[in-house]
């Protein structure tokens, strides 16, 4: 696919997800913390299409840098995307770090598409669902460095993150070629390690630390 067409697909997809989140916010009255996770998960799932849309990692990396700048300017000055906004400055900082983390993973694991996609699933589904489940069902709280999380949310991080990481390792074409059975342990170990790191990370930085953990574990195990 030509670079300009791939970028057009990426931009259209991202803004469609943001538009959907904004529609849900206004139609259903859902709070920004929920619609932020709709964007979080929806945009993260574009990683499944990257190997088919781009022939090189660089257009995606440059697009991520542009999105990072845009989200920073929006949080600080523009305020165009209410569905992505948060009253918590640390959460807004996490939104800025999200595309940077995605760019790093794609650049490092470009030649290993299953690993590339799987490494982004803790950030996409794990982190995304941890807050949703934690807010709805979190009864057993714990606090580390002034930030409170729930056991239920951490388990959701592991469950959703491990499943989608395993699925990516199994169905995304390219090296390494793993059977469904072979993919279970690396996916589970990587996501569990990421969940532990997320639990002790300062809010806002978890998008970077979770991704760094995925890069480290998969980098020494599967690449």
d(CA 166, CA 54): 23
pLDDT tens for each residue of the chain, 223 residues long? 788 899 999 999 998 998 888 887 777 666 666 777 888 899 999 999 999 999 999 999 999 999 988 888 866 665 666 555 555 555 557 778 889 999 999 999 999 999 999 999 999 999 889 988 988 888 888 888 777 889 999 999 999 999 999 999 999 999 999 999 999 999 999 999 999 999 888 767 888 999 999 999 999 998 8
- Identify which of 84, 70, 80 has the alpha carbon closest to the alpha carbon of residue 24: 84
Of the CA atoms within 13 Å of residue 46, those in its CB half-sphere come to 29
pLDDT of residue 95: 79
Task: Read off the DSSP letter of residue 49.
Answer: T
How much is the pTM? Answer: 0.90
What residue spans define the domains of the chain?
Answer: 3-221
d(CA 29, CA 25): 5
172: left (phi over 0), alpha (psi -120 to 50) or beta: beta
């Amino acid at each position: 696919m030509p670079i300009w067409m791939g970028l057009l697909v990426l931009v259209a997809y991202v803004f469609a997800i943001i538009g959907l989140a904004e529609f849900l916010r206004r139609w259903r009255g859902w709070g920004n913390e929920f619609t932020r996770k709709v964007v979080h998960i929806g945009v993260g799932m574009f990683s499944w299409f990257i190997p088919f849309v781009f022939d090189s990692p660089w257009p995606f990396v440059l697009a991520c840098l542009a999105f990072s700048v845009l989200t920073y300017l929006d949080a600080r000055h523009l305020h165009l995307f209410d569905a992505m906004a948060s009253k918590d400055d640390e959460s807004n900082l996490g939104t800025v770090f999200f595309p940077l983390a995605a760019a790093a993973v794609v650049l490092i694991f470009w030649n290993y598409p299953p690993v590339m996609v799987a490494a982004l699933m803790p950030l996409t589904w794990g982190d995304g669902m941890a807050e949703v489940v934690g807010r709805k069902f979190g009864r057993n709280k714990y606090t580390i460095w002034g930030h409170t999380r729930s056991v239920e949310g951490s388990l959701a991080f592991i469950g959703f993150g491990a499943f989608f990481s395993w699925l990516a390792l199994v169905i995304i074409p390219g090296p390494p070629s793993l059977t469904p059975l072979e993919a279970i342990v690396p996916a589970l170990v990587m996501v569990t390690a990421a969940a532990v790191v997320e639990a002790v990370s300062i809010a806002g930085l978890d998008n970077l630390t979770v991704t760094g953990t995925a890069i480290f574990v998969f980098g020494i195990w599967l690449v």
